[in-house]
Amino acid sequence: MAVGMAISSADAGDGGGFAFDGKMNKFVILCCIIASTGGLMFGYDIGISGGVTAMDDFLEKFFHSVYLKKHHAHEDNYCKYNNQGLQLFTSSLYLAALVASFFASYVCSKYGRKFTMQVAAFIFLLGVLFNGAAFHVAMLIGGRLLLGCGIGFANQAVPLFLSEIAPVKYRGGLNILFQLMVTIGILIANLVNFFMEKIHPWGWRVSLSLAGVPAMLLLIGSFVIPETPTSLIERGQQNQGLETLRKIRGTENVEKEYQEIVHACEMAHEVKHPFRNLMKRKSRPQLVIAILMQVFQQFTGINAIMFYAPVLFQTIGFHNNASLMSAVITGIVNVVSTIVSIVLVDILGRRMLLLEACAQMFVSQLAIGSTLMVHLESTGSLTKITSIAVVCLVCVYVMSFAWSWGPLGWLIPSEIFPVETRTAGYAFAVSSNMLFTFLIAQAFLSMLCSMKAAVFFFFAVWIIIMGLFTIFLLPETKGIPIDEMTDRVWKQHWFWRRFMDHDTPGPSRV
Ligand code: BGC
């Protein structure tokens, strides 16, 4: 148990554990900013595809039937973008990321976080080349697959890097820094699309090529940042690990933390089959919650808005430029509200943010759905005032997502696992995110076409389910040291305690 406590406070330690002598210093901040550009790559991709797939030049060149449909006077508003190839363009990236993240977890532990980030940036840059130079739809999809591999690698390495390099008491905030970069990436992409839409016929090429900027930043920056002490020690480079720890903590007094990391790595070596350990009954609560947090995050319907915001706004009758502008507005709301989350998450707690957001998202989804149903006939368009109302409702919705299910979908899975199953468990959370992002991206335009405005009611029903889940099954984890989760959270919970083995607290080994 003593070992278990020591490990956890060094390894994760949000809200408790030992007070190590490390403070936030300029070098650590620089390292975190450089590494988070991985989040920028991810966000830029989320934001760019919707705008590009709404550009006439792009559609005319690669998706001619969509282009013709779009300009057909009597075409049904809700169906003009429904095309499997177009959806595949957006969603292929997530499928690739899903597969790549399993390889990435291997590379990450065998060759380190820094190397994994370099691989990520390199593959991503290849994808950007394919996309920017595309003259055939196969090149486009191939490029997206490469981008997806890059993202799979980056999303595996960057959050791990941030967690391992951050001083213990700032770890939570630095986790959400990754999500903040995701939202900034989405916003930048929306702005780029807003300007590139006016440049004919190659504006879309610039939009796709600029994805190379965050990847270049990550690649160049990765030569400046150190490998994490944990990764160095895990791979037998004890002295270098100690040196790096001194450097990032800005003090010679790191012995205690160093010893904790050494213990953590010894423990990690003893667990031969983390995935098998994860399948045991006592891991059920954490595993179920980690997966459901990500599944529910996607069933909020956020990516229906993020990927397709410009398409969606055009669907409800905005012109190209106005719709991209509206997407920029929602992007700004997304960034600002994520900052709100950084400030509030350790004050109000996770459950409070999630529940408040469920109520806010439910009301706004219902309002968007009914407004469109009443005011938007299949072939008509909205009046100016109704359009503005819809944009405002979308902002109310995005705002609540951004301070709740967005960042907490990543934060909660990272803080609920005991040390022996943490990385394996987190890998499940990441791959669930990619899988359900893929499913929503692939299905949304078809759903919009067949369900029309009722698609918003579909997501509203899910919001009720996730609200009930939060009330009954999600325990509060604010301020609880990670190593005490089993005793203070799972063993006390009315439902999950039946999965806990009361006799053997602390890590188990296989
Ligand atoms: C989600 C993405 C989403 C983004 C929006 C992330 O946490 O995983 O799917 O597009 O937030 O800000």
How confident is the model over 408-423, as pLDDT tens digits? Answer: 998 898 778 776 777 7
Better-predicted residue by pLDDT, 233 or 205: 205
Atom of ligand 1 nearest to the CA of 410: 7
Measured in residues, the chain has a length of 510
* pLDDT value of residue 397: 96
Nearest CA to ligand 1 atom 3: 303
Residue ranges in 17-136 assigned as alpha helix (H): 26-52, 56-62, 64-70, 84-111, 113-132
* pLDDT value of residue 288: 97
Distance 507 CA to ligand 1 centre (A): 32
* pLDDT value of residue 21: 58
- In testing the pocket of ligand 1, which one of 151, 182, 459 has its CB within 8 Å of the most ligand atoms? 182
For residue 347, is pLDDT > 80?
A: yes
For residue 154, is pLDDT > 80?
A: yes
* pLDDT value of residue 379: 54
Does any ligand 1 atom lie closer than 6 A to the CB of residue 294?
no
173: confidence class by pLDDT, cuts 50, 70, 90: confident
> CB of 254 within 8 A of CB of 493?
no
Better-predicted residue by pLDDT, 489 or 15: 489
Atom of ligand 1 nearest to the CA of 433: 8
For residue 146, is pLDDT > 90?
A: yes
For residue 8, is pLDDT > 70?
A: no
* pLDDT value of residue 284: 95
pLDDT (average), residues 431-459: 86
Nearest CA to ligand 1 atom 1: 406
Nearest CA to ligand 1 atom 4: 406
Least confident of 203-212, 218-227, 231-240, 271-280: 271-280
Better-predicted residue by pLDDT, 169 or 222: 222
**Cα-flanking dihedrals φ and ψ of residue 93, to 5°?**
-60, -40
Q: List Cβ neighbours of 294 (8 Å cut-off, separation of 6 or more).
A: 409, 413, 429, 430, 432, 433, 436
For residue 15, is pLDDT > 60?
A: no
pLDDT (average), residues 203-217: 97
103: confidence class by pLDDT, cuts 50, 70, 90: confident
Nearest CA to ligand 1 atom 7: 406
pLDDT (average), residues 368-395: 81
Least confident of 66-70, 408-412, 428-432, 504-508: 504-508
Distance 276 CA to ligand 1 centre (A): 29
- What does the DSSP assignment read for 208-234? HHTTHHHHHHHHHHTTTSPPPHHHHHH
Better-predicted residue by pLDDT, 131 or 414: 131
Does any ligand 1 atom lie closer than 6 A to the CB of residue 159?
no
* pLDDT value of residue 81: 65
Give me the chain's average pLDDT, please. Answer: 84
Distance 476 CA to ligand 1 centre (A): 22
1: confidence class by pLDDT, cuts 50, 70, 90: very low
Nearest CA to ligand 1 atom 12: 183
202: confidence class by pLDDT, cuts 50, 70, 90: very high
Nearest CA to ligand 1 atom 11: 406
* pLDDT value of residue 206: 97
Task: Give the count of beta carbons closer than 10 Å to the beta carbon of residue 128.
Answer: 24
Cα angle value 490/108/44 (rounded, 5°): 90
* pLDDT value of residue 377: 60
Better-predicted residue by pLDDT, 508 or 289: 289
